[in-house]
Amino acid sequence: MSDVPDPRCALRRVSRSEWVISDLRYPPDDSRHAVARVYELDDTEVEVVWLRDLPLATRYGSALAVLDDVQRMLSVSRATRPVTIPHLPPPPA
C-alpha cells in the first residue's frame, strides 16, 4: 500500500523467494515487530507463516496482497457506529 502516507507495516525481501512483514510501530528488538514471513511457492501463490495471532489466510496471490490484508487488519479504526434500535410502545393487550 504505497499510497498510505504513514504506513504501519513494511514488506522487506530477505531472499529471492522470501519476505518479512514488520510492524513499524514497534522497535526491531520487540517481539511484536515481526508480523509474518512470506514464502513464494510459484509465480502466482505465496504461503504465509504468521508470527502474531492474526485471523488471516495462509495463502495469497502475492506478497503485496498479504501486506494489504495486514495493513487493513492492524488499522487503527475498525469499529463502526452502533446500530440504532427503534423503541416502540408495547402492543395493545
Domains of the chain: total: 1
- Structural contact between residues 42 and 22, judged by C-beta atoms closer than 8 angstroms: no
- Structural contact between residues 20 and 38, judged by C-beta atoms closer than 8 angstroms: yes
DSSP state of 91: P
Residue 18 lies in a domain: yes
The runs of H, that is alpha helices, within 28-87 are: 63-74
Residue 54 lies in a domain: yes
Residue 2 above 80 pLDDT? no
Residue 58 lies in a domain: yes
C-alpha cell at 90: 408495547
Residue 59 lies in a domain: yes
Q: Residues 29-79: pLDDT tens digits?
A: 999 999 999 999 999 999 999 999 999 999 999 999 999 999 988 876 656
- Domain residues for 40? 9-74
- Structural contact between residues 35 and 9, judged by C-beta atoms closer than 8 angstroms: yes
The Cα–Cα gap between 8 and 16 comes to: 24
